Structure formats: structure tokens, C-alpha cells
């Protein structure tokens, strides 16, 4: 009886055991279904044989193969996908009317990726990216920067081909080459052609006046002089003041005559409150002598319009002013920017008819207001308010770079006459009181003093790397940077960089980008007017390379340069 109870108890199954067996069977079925589905996608016939083998293994008890192991089926599936890609490529070959590859070499050529469109496109894309990454960026030219610079620093990982210790022959040859405007880099020259002599030639400038106890560049009204007693002597001593002004007038006149004769390419007039740049005809492709002056004020611009002073009105344009009136006349060769805005009461000075028309319009408006019953006091308030608004609009650009004025031709001559007779160009207060404006030029003129730029050579470390440094300090004219770059290039210096400290008051000269005058030729095509500019300036003291550089009429070559780098025979700047 006890044995029968044990047998019946063993035949009974507990619910948790039944559910555990059920879950196990469900997992086995899901795994088998997943394996069967994968095999069906790859090869239907192969999956059917696997199902037979699996059922056979269940009955025979043999070990089932690992479904995750790589076998010949995977290899066949891979070959099938490649063959499918080859068939697509053959279709593309037929659409493009290109002869497809031979059948016996299709498999090998596809496997190495030489005849598939996808591989060919990927190779082209990789090659394009490689070429773009390897192609150096930069230009073969140096931009023209008309900004005056106070400091310049060159740095190179390799030593410079010169040193600051000049021999007697090197100093003499450099000075002679600069004074006589000789190119000492030529092989047939009898002067010293060493890098030291050529460097010294690039570091000289002509200046007037030259007062050793005063720093006349840069000019700053707020800068304290080292010895103020001498300044008080100049201001209080009328004969000394008149002698300085007379000598300065002769120097200024001599320099302007050299410019008109195209024997001086350009020069600067540096006053306390403004800076003027005069350029010869042919520079930047402009066919006439021209000048820039910045910054200006409304009072200064109105002063230029007073005909009773010089019996001629100085017409000017403002290239950097955006909200101004535009007009076209023969002197400006097209649409240029005028200082006179549409609402300005001074805009009618050029045209008496416009002035009469505006007066009549004002009278009409006053009569119209009176007809409405407005009292005269209210009309005066309205007129004064409108005049005040107009004045504020005209003076909002004062002392900014947008206040730069540009003149050319006879207007440049008129501006010269204005500056040489303008007593307000000489300040009467401050450390530089009584001292005329500073004249700076690359060629000699009457009363000029030969000044040398301070040069300092040193070694510096940046991020644990040693660099050789060359620092220049003084009035650095626009030809200094391209001259030094040409010297370094001829000395086979492969890599270097330069940074510049600019005189902020003169950045508008480069921002104006005046150049590229064009006229209609006989055939109707446009040609620049600088065809004979280089030949006419052959006696201005510049070499052919520098002359080609400054006569370039393309405005895009005029840039404001703060730093420049040379590498792979290309220049990059910012």
C-alpha cells in the first residue's frame, strides 16, 4: 500500500515545474525560429537542409552544429552580395555606354575594388580630401597697407642672415644706396651687397622737422615731452616759431613738387589732429595726383568749402561714409560718396540754384505754417530743432575713420595750398606747441633729415621653442614691409612671421581702397589707366619690383595687415 502511494505521488507534477518546462520549450522554439529565419534569408535551400539535419539530430542524438560559427554558407552569402553589386555596376556601365569588364576577371577586379562605382567614388572623395588638406593656403603677393606703423617684429625658427653689428662698408653702402636710390642687390653694383647692408638700407627714412629733444612721431597732443622748457621757448619766442614755420613751408613745397614730377611716390603729413597722405599719379592705378586726410570734423570740412579764403572751393569725397548722398561728375569718374547729406543745409553751397530752391521751400513752409495759425515763435523753435538735428547728424562721424576725405587732381593742389597756409595745423598748446607737422617720405627733399629706424635683435622662447626675433621701432612707411620680405626671400629664409603695431589714426587709408580706374578703349573693352604709370614713376626711387607692387590697380590688394606669415613660398595675413 505504501509503494502504491509513492508511485502515484511520483506521477503527480507541481505547477511551478510545469511552467518551468513550458518556458524552456518556448525559449527553444524562439531560438530555433530565429535561426531558421536567418538561414531562410541567406539561402532557402540551405535552410531546408538544416531543418532536416536538425530533426535528424533530434532523433539520432548527434550533436547539433553551432549556428553562430562561420561556415561556407556565410562565404557564399558574401559572394552573392558582391555578385549583386557587380550586376548593378554592369547595368551602370551599359547606361553610360561604357564597355563592361571581361567576365573572367570580374570577380578578381571586384574583390580588389577597382571596377565598382562605389569604390571608385569613394577613392575619388578620399583623393579630393587629401588634396585639399595637403594644398597650402596663401597668396604669392603681399597686400599693400597704407597705414603708418610704429613697431614691427619678425620671428623665425632659423637665424636671420644678418646681425645688428654693422661694418663700416656695410653702413656706408646701405646709406649710399638709400640716399642715391640705388638697388644694391644687383650683381653689377660696386657697393656692399651683404644682407647687413641691404637691411640698413630698408631702415632709413627722411623726416622734417628734426628736433632731437622732441619725439615728433607719432604725434600726440596728450603725450608729455621730456623737456617742456624748450617747448615754452618755441611758443613764446616768435622769431623761432616763424623760422620753424618758414623752413617747414619750404620743405613741404619741395616735397609736393617732387610728387607732382613723379619723383616721389608718396609722403605723409602728420599733425597733432590729423594725418594726410599724398600719392603720385600712377600709384594704385589712379591717373592723377591725389590725397587722403583723416580724421576730420564738420568745422574742418566746412572750412574747405569757403571760397573766399583761396578763391576756389575744395571738392572732396568721403569713400567710407555710408549714409551720405551720392553724385556723379567728371572729376570723380562715377558715383562716389560726398560729405554733404541730403538734409544738410550746407549741401546747397555747390549749386546756387539748389540754394535758392531751398530758400524758397523754407519760405513756403513758413507761410504754410502761418496759414495754419502757428505763431512765429513756434516756427522758430521748429526751425532751430531741425537745424540741431541736422548738425548732430553731420557731426556723428567726426574724428572717426568714416570722416576720411579724398581729393585728386586740381583738388589735391588746392588741399596742399590749404594746408601750407593753415595756421591751425600747428597746435598752440601742449608739449608740441609751435612745432609744424611732421613730414615723412622715402626720398630726399629740401630740409629733410635722414633718420634711422631702431633695430633690435634677440632670441625668445615660446612654448619651449626657440625663435629669433628682429624688432624695428620708428616711423615705418608702407614700403618697409615688402622690402624686408623681399630681402628675406632672397636670403632663402623658408619660414617667418611678422606682427605690426599700427597708428590707429591712419587705418582709414587702407580701408578706403582707392584704385582701379577704368576707361573705355577704342575697341569698347575696359583697360586700366595705369599702363604708363610704372614707366612714368621710374625715377621715384623705387626698384622695379617695388614699383610694380605700388602701381597695382586692384583694390583687393589693399588690405589692413596686422600680422603676416610666410611659409611654402606663400603669404597669409590677418
Residues in contact with 136: Cβ distance below 8 Å, sequence separation at least 6, in sequence order:
567, 568, 570
Q: What integer pLDDT is reported at residue 556 of this predicted model?
A: 87
Q: What integer pLDDT is reported at residue 423 of this predicted model?
A: 82
Residue where the block lists cell 614691427: 152
3-state secondary structure of 475: strand
pLDDT along the chain (574 residues), means of 10: 51 79 86 72 51 48 58 47 52 57 49 54 57 68 94 93 87 94 78 91 95 88 49 78 94 97 96 95 92 92 72 84 48 35 34 43 67 71 70 77 93 93 86 92 97 93 90 95 91 90 93 58 43 80 91 90 92 92
Per DSSP (E only), the strands in 232-340 are 266-270, 275-279, 290-294, 326-329, 334-337
Residue (of 462, 452, 454, 453) closest to 155 by Cα position:
462
Q: How far apart are CA 273 and CA 219, in angstroms?
A: 8
C-alpha cell, 231:
617747448
Q: How far apart are CA 574 and CA 566, in angstroms?
A: 12
C-alpha cell, 546:
617695388
Q: What integer pLDDT is reported at residue 31 of this predicted model?
A: 81
332 HSE (CA, 13 A, CB side):
17
Compute the chain's Rg from CA coordinates.
Answer: 42
Q: How far apart are CA 110 and CA 81, in angstroms?
A: 11
Torsion of the alpha carbons at 505, 424, 241 and 238, rounded to the nearest 10: -150
Q: How far apart are CA 341 and CA 336, in angstroms?
A: 13
Q: How far apart are CA 79 and CA 73, in angstroms?
A: 10
Q: How far apart are CA 136 and CA 340, in angstroms?
A: 47
Per the document, the length of the chain is 574
Q: What integer pLDDT is reported at residue 279 of this predicted model?
A: 96
Q: How far apart are CA 536 and CA 539, in angstroms?
A: 8
DSSP 476: E
Sign (positive or negative) of CA dihedral 518, 522, 524, 525: negative
Sign (positive or negative) of CA dihedral 499, 503, 509, 511: positive
Q: What integer pLDDT is reported at residue 336 of this predicted model?
A: 35
Amino acid at each position: 500500500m505504501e509503494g502504491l502511494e509513492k508511485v502515484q505521488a511520483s506521477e503527480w507534477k507541481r505547477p511551478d515545474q510545469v511552467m518551468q518546462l513550458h518556458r524552456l520549450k518556448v525559449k527553444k522554439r524562439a531560438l530555433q525560429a530565429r535561426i531558421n529565419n536567418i538561414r531562410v534569408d541567406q539561402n532557402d535551400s540551405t535552410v531546408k537542409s538544416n531543418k532536416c539535419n536538425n530533426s535528424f539530430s533530434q532523433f539520432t542524438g548527434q550533436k547539433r552544429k553551432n549556428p553562430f560559427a562561420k561556415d561556407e554558407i556565410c562565404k557564399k552569402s558574401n559572394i552573392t552580395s558582391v555578385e549583386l553589386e557587380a550586376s548593378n555596376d554592369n547595368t551602370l556601365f551599359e547606361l553610360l555606354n561604357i564597355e563592361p569588364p571581361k567576365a573572367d576577371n570580374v570577380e578578381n577586379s571586384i574583390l580588389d575594388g577597382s571596377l565598382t562605382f562605389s569604390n571608385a567614388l569613394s577613392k575619388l572623395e578620399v583623393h579630393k580630401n587629401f588634396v585639399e588638406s595637403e594644398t597650402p593656403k596663401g597668396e604669392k603677393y603681399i597686400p599693400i597697407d597704407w597705414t603708418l606703423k610704429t613697431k614691427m617684429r619678425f620671428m623665425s625658427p632659423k637665424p636671420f642672415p644678418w646681425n645688428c653689428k654693422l661694418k663700416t662698408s656695410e653702413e656706408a653702402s646701405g646709406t649710399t644706396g638709400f640716399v642715391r636710390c640705388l638697388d644694391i642687390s644687383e650683381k653689377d653694383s660696386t657697393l656692399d651687397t651683404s644682407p647687413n647692408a641691404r637691411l640698413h638700407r630698408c631702415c632709413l627714412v627722411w623726416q622734417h622737422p628734426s628736433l632731437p629733444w622732441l619725439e615728433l612721431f607719432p604725434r600726440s597732443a596728450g603725450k608729455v615731452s621730456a623737456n617742456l622748457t624748450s617747448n615754452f621757448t618755441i611758443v613764446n619766442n616768435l622769431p623761432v616759431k616763424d623760422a620753424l614755420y618758414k623752413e617747414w613751408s619750404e620743405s613741404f613745397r619741395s616735397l609736393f613738387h617732387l610728387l607732382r614730377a613723379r619723383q616721389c611716390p608718396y609722403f605723409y603729413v602728420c599733425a597733432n589732429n590729423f594725418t594726410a597722405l599724398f600719392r603720385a599719379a600712377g600709384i594704385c592705378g589712379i591717373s592723377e595726383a591725389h590725397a587722403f586726410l583723416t580724421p576730420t570734423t564738420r568745422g574742418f570740412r566746412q572750412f574747405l568749402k569757403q571760397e573766399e579764403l583761396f578763391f576756389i572751393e575744395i571738392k572732396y569725397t568721403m569713400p567710407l561714409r555710408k549714409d551720405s548722398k551720392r553724385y556723379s561728375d567728371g572729376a570723380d569718374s562715377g558715383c562716389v560718396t560726398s560729405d554733404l547729406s541730403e538734409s544738410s543745409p550746407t549741401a546747397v553751397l555747390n549749386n546756387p540754384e539748389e540754394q535758392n530752391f531751398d530758400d524758397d521751400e523754407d519760405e513756403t513752409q513758413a507761410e504754410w505754417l502761418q496759414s495754419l495759425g502757428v505763431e512765429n515763435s513756434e516756427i522758430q523753435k521748429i526751425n532751430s530743432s531741425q537745424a540741431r538735428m541736422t548738425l548732430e547728424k553731420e557731426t556723428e562721424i567726426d574724428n572717426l575713420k568714416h570722416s576720411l576725405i579724398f581729393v585728386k587732381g586740381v583738388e589735391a593742389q588746392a588741399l596742399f595750398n590749404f594746408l601750407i597756409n593753415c595756421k591751425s595745423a600747428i597746435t598752440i598748446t601742449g608739449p608740441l606747441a609751435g612745432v609744424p607737422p611732421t613730414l615723412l617720405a622715402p626720398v630726399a627733399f629740401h630740409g629733410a633729415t635722414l633718420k634711422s629706424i631702431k633695430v633690435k635683435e634677440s632670441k625668445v622662447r615660446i612654448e619651449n621653442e626657440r625663435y629669433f626675433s628682429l624688432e624695428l621701432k620708428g616711423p615705418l612707411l608702407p614700403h618697409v614691409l615688402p622690402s624686408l620680405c623681399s630681402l628675406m626671400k632672397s636670403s632663402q629664409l623658408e619660414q617667418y612671421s611678422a606682427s605690426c603695431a599700427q597708428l590707429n589714426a591712419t587705418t582709414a587709408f587702407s580701408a578706403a581702397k582707392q584704385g582701379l580706374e577704368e576707361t573705355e578703349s577704342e575697341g569698347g573693352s575696359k583697360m586700366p589707366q595705369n599702363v604708363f604709370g610704372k614707366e612714368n614713376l621710374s625715377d621715384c626711387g623705387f626698384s622695379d619690383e617695388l614699383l610694380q607692387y605700388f602701381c597695382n590697380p586692384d583694390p583687393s590688394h589693399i588690405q589692413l595687415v596686422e600680422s603676416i606669415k610666410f611659409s611654402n613660398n606663400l603669404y597669409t595675413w590677418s
